[in-house]
Chain A
């Protein structure tokens, strides 16, 4: 009697489970299709060629160390992941509820538990040993050949090159003048095959410096000094961006590392240290110089700029107007290819492509040519000068600056006329 009852229950359960299994298989097919589609899309994304921030394309010794580490780690993790997922899938499918009695529960298999502890421990140890080695190698500073200070602030990076005790900058002595500190922003220029150490900090909030093709990330924290090694043997431009959320325009805080052959780095250095050349008298650029002094020099420094009205050297005081206390030095603005935190190019798309896609042999000359009148991306620069906060989100509304005692974070709206913008562009074009 009891046997019959069990049989009846099994029959009815079998009918129910058949319909359930059909429903499940239908849903499974949909889920599987979606999963395969997403996986394929992710895989295809990896095939992108225009990916300047590709972590899998190292272009220097430091990034190569990471690459050499991450390949076996990802491979190991992938194999473990596949085994675990396959085991789970097998268990789910083979032992799914089909109305069978609950199987006997196993306890006390000590050898199995030891095995499940030992396998992950061995894997983790095998990964940890080279990881610690790479971490230590990436933190080494005893082989530094060139130190460049990098300071983050909302939302751009400032670089200053120190003059060493031997009167050189990164071991390069200026050809014509005495060495003096170089301050630039947006793009940091380094000599190829040189162990460069970025000595980084921040003026306002925590930022994070990352050039994926040259090294990993490093936080830049106010009041602290952190290091990041950069090195590349291939001339070119390597892009990166801030990877620590730092406020309204975090996504627009980018940076580029420019690698030049030693001879080209020497040229760049000499150019940066060239004395200030005032615009020709009566030119549009000369009018732009006056406009710059009146409108921009409160925050932006141009080294060597002298006010023609009184003969005084023009000194900027950004700490009085800007929350971070700094604004980009524009001495050689057109010697670099970007502006506004490396968010926009100073080059037109065609000229930019010409520089970015240049071969390592041709790159130096093309980069050092700077921005010419024909190659100037006047559209973005003009929009920026017309209304900077409208182009890049910044805390620059005078009515909302109580918390910062009236100091702006970013560049404010200056109310420049179109004539003034023409003058400024003409003046800035000569800053290279």
Chain B
């Protein structure tokens, strides 16, 4: 009376019913009870269906019915897209809780997986020839899949490579980027170009290895975190901190000590054994003591150190609105030149300027100074 499959399902239904009753009486809990009741109802439903169709069995000696039965029809290939849709759904749900970006990614995954799933389903019904169906699907899908896959692949390569670069010290980064990797790429390219024929599988294998190495390197570097990147401040930053002294600061490292635009400076200030002096364009005689510079305009001042000691040139500015308290150059070696561009926002006779000591050019560690008059 009962087929084999029906017996199994009815047995499972009975066990589930017993389990439900035991859980409901002994443990309780609405969610668990509802779940087990649902399971039991589902099993009873399946058992009934199976009994009705009698396990869909066909007699083995009935060749015609056997070959034409649904069980004899080749099954379509397994599809990954339902999993994709499920993953996308989970991402959407997680995104609601964690971050909106996850929701967007989940939505994109759901849409893409759904489209692929629909396309695959449509293609599998195109004919009874599976290979033809795959070709039909490919014609339509590859035009979108290939560029997207390429973009994602390139993006991954760039991202992982950047993680590697950020994870190693600066000099090593240069060596990795411009020596080792470049050599490998060049060597690989030469090998491929010299090969008379290279099968698709070998190419795929080669690129797979490279990809795995890159992904692994990127992942490791990403987990290790970026190297400590030192922040380089300008002399203006140190001037704000009142650190325009004789001591060396980070802005002094690798500071340029040559200036090209000498023809367009407002003044060239020189420090030598006689002290500070300056030359204004148009009058070549060195002057000392006082210099007059225009207001509300960029004054390019060149400072040249002709002493043996490294020196820092400072433009003392008044603490008035729209102006920093001072500006300074980096430490200048003997014979070096640097430029300061100074814009005086207020005249020298402004009481605020006078109260703060007036404008002046000085050198850290020396008493010599040039008063700056801004009319």
A residues adjacent to B (C-beta < 8 A): 141-142, 144, 147, 149, 151, 160, 162-165, 180-183, 197, 199, 201, 203, 222-225, 227, 301, 303, 312-313, 315, 317-320, 324-326
Instruction: Take A151-B294, A160-B292, A222-B298 as given contacts and tell me if A197 and B351 are in contact as well, using a CB distance cutoff of 8 Å.
Output: no
Whether A151 pairs with B297 at a CB distance below 8 angstroms is yes
Instruction: Take A201-B297, A319-B296 as given contacts and tell me if A165 and B265 are in contact as well, using a CB distance cutoff of 8 Å.
Output: no
Chain A residues contacting B294 (CB-CB under 8 Å) are 149, 151, 160, 201
Q: Which of B30-38, B221-229, B279-287 forms part of the interface with chain A?
A: B279-287
Whether A181 pairs with B375 at a CB distance below 8 angstroms is yes
Whether B282 pairs with A141 at a CB distance below 8 angstroms is yes
B residues adjacent to A (C-beta < 8 A): 263-266, 280-285, 287-290, 292, 294-298, 300, 322, 345-347, 349-351, 373, 375
Query: In the docked arrangement, what's the CA distance between A140 and B296, Å?
Result: 28
The minimal Cβ–Cβ distance linking B7 to chain A, given in whole angstroms, is: 85
Whether A147 pairs with B280 at a CB distance below 8 angstroms is yes
Chain B residues contacting A142 (CB-CB under 8 Å) are 284
Chain A residues contacting B296 (CB-CB under 8 Å) are 203, 318-319, 324-326
Chain B residues contacting A227 (CB-CB under 8 Å) are 281-282
CB < 8 Å neighbour of A315 from B288, B290, B347: B347
Known: A165-B290, A224-B264, A315-B350. 4 other contacts (CB 8 A): A141-B281, A144-B282, A180-B375, A183-B375
Whether B349 pairs with A225 at a CB distance below 8 angstroms is no
Whether B297 pairs with A199 at a CB distance below 8 angstroms is no
CB < 8 Å neighbour of A162 from B289, B292, B347, B349: B292
CB < 8 Å neighbour of B298 from A223, A303, A312: A223
Whether A313 pairs with B375 at a CB distance below 8 angstroms is no
Q: Name A201's closest neighbour in chain B (CB-CB).
A: B297
Query: In the docked arrangement, what's the CA distance between A181 and B375, Å?
Result: 6
Chain A residues contacting B265 (CB-CB under 8 Å) are 225
The minimal Cβ–Cβ distance linking B263 to chain A, given in whole angstroms, is: 8
Query: In the docked arrangement, what's the CA distance between A103 and B355, Å?
Result: 92
Instruction: Take A151-B294, A203-B296, A223-B264 as given contacts and tell me if A317 and B281 are in contact as well, using a CB distance cutoff of 8 Å.
Output: no
Chain B CB count within 10 A is highest, among A163, A222, A315, A320, for: A315
CB < 8 Å neighbour of A313 from B282, B288, B300, B351: B351
Instruction: Take A142-B284, A144-B283, A326-B296 as given contacts and tell me if A319 and B345 are in contact as well, using a CB distance cutoff of 8 Å.
Output: yes
CB < 8 Å neighbour of B289 from A165, A317, A325: A165
Q: Name A148's closest neighbour in chain B (CB-CB).
A: B282
Chain B residues contacting A320 (CB-CB under 8 Å) are 322
Chain A CB count within 10 A is highest, among B282, B283, B289, for: B282
Query: In the docked arrangement, what's the CA distance between A183 and B375, Å?
Result: 7
Chain A CB count within 10 A is highest, among B266, B287, B294, B322, for: B294
The minimal Cβ–Cβ distance linking A229 to chain B, given in whole angstroms, is: 10
Chain A residues contacting B346 (CB-CB under 8 Å) are 315, 317
Whether A199 pairs with B280 at a CB distance below 8 angstroms is yes
Chain A residues contacting B289 (CB-CB under 8 Å) are 165
Q: Name A222's closest neighbour in chain B (CB-CB).
A: B298
A-B CB proximity, top 4 nearest: A325-B296, A181-B375, A224-B264, A165-B287
Chain B residues contacting A164 (CB-CB under 8 Å) are 287
Q: Name A147's closest neighbour in chain B (CB-CB).
A: B282
Instruction: Take A141-B282, A142-B284, A315-B347 as given contacts and tell me if A225 and B266 are in contact as well, using a CB distance cutoff of 8 Å.
Output: yes
Q: Name B284's closest neighbour in chain A (CB-CB).
A: A142
Query: In the docked arrangement, what's the CA distance between A19 and B141, Å?
Result: 77
Whether B298 pairs with A319 at a CB distance below 8 angstroms is no
Chain A residues contacting B281 (CB-CB under 8 Å) are 141, 199, 225, 227
The minimal Cβ–Cβ distance linking A182 to chain B, given in whole angstroms, is: 8
Chain A residues contacting B322 (CB-CB under 8 Å) are 319-320
The minimal Cβ–Cβ distance linking B323 to chain A, given in whole angstroms, is: 10
Whether A163 pairs with B373 at a CB distance below 8 angstroms is yes
Instruction: Take A223-B264, A223-B300 as given contacts and tell me if A312 and B351 are in contact as well, using a CB distance cutoff of 8 Å.
Output: yes
Whether A225 pairs with B264 at a CB distance below 8 angstroms is yes
Query: In the docked arrangement, what's the CA distance between A84 and B146, Å?
Result: 70
Instruction: Take A197-B282, A312-B351 as given contacts and tell me if A160 and B288 are in contact as well, using a CB distance cutoff of 8 Å.
Output: no
Query: In the docked arrangement, what's the CA distance between A151 and B296, Å?
Result: 11
The minimal Cβ–Cβ distance linking A149 to chain B, given in whole angstroms, is: 6
Chain B residues contacting A225 (CB-CB under 8 Å) are 263-266, 281
Instruction: Take A315-B347, A315-B350 as given contacts and tell me if A165 and B297 are in contact as well, using a CB distance cutoff of 8 Å.
Output: no
The minimal Cβ–Cβ distance linking B173 to chain A, given in whole angstroms, is: 37
Chain B residues contacting A222 (CB-CB under 8 Å) are 298
The minimal Cβ–Cβ distance linking B97 to chain A, given in whole angstroms, is: 44
The minimal Cβ–Cβ distance linking A327 to chain B, given in whole angstroms, is: 10
> Can you list 17 A-B pairs, Cβ within 8 angstroms, ordered by A?
A141-B283, A142-B284, A144-B282, A147-B280, A147-B282, A181-B292, A201-B294, A203-B297, A224-B264, A227-B281, A313-B351, A315-B346, A315-B347, A315-B350, A325-B296, A325-B297, A326-B296
Query: In the docked arrangement, what's the CA distance between A203 and B294, Å?
Result: 10
The minimal Cβ–Cβ distance linking A257 to chain B, given in whole angstroms, is: 17
Query: In the docked arrangement, what's the CA distance between A223 and B261, Å?
Result: 10
The minimal Cβ–Cβ distance linking B344 to chain A, given in whole angstroms, is: 9
The minimal Cβ–Cβ distance linking A168 to chain B, given in whole angstroms, is: 13
Query: In the docked arrangement, what's the CA distance between A76 and B74, Å?
Result: 101
The minimal Cβ–Cβ distance linking B80 to chain A, given in whole angstroms, is: 56
Query: In the docked arrangement, what's the CA distance between A401 and B290, Å?
Result: 39
CB < 8 Å neighbour of A160 from B282, B300, B349, B375: B375
Chain A residues contacting B375 (CB-CB under 8 Å) are 160, 180-183
Query: In the docked arrangement, what's the CA distance between A203 and B343, Å?
Result: 11
Chain A residues contacting B347 (CB-CB under 8 Å) are 301, 315
Query: In the docked arrangement, what's the CA distance between A142 and B375, Å?
Result: 26
Chain B residues contacting A318 (CB-CB under 8 Å) are 296
CB < 8 Å neighbour of B283 from A147, A324, A325: A147
Chain A residues contacting B280 (CB-CB under 8 Å) are 147, 162, 199
Query: In the docked arrangement, what's the CA distance between A242 and B123, Å?
Result: 77
The minimal Cβ–Cβ distance linking A195 to chain B, given in whole angstroms, is: 11
The minimal Cβ–Cβ distance linking B54 to chain A, given in whole angstroms, is: 84
Chain B residues contacting A313 (CB-CB under 8 Å) are 349, 351
Query: In the docked arrangement, what's the CA distance between A222 and B299, Å?
Result: 10
Query: In the docked arrangement, what's the CA distance between A203 and B265, Å?
Result: 15
Query: In the docked arrangement, what's the CA distance between A224 and B260, Å?
Result: 13
Q: Name B287's closest neighbour in chain A (CB-CB).
A: A165
Q: Name B374's closest neighbour in chain A (CB-CB).
A: A181
Query: In the docked arrangement, what's the CA distance between A373 and B292, Å?
Result: 35
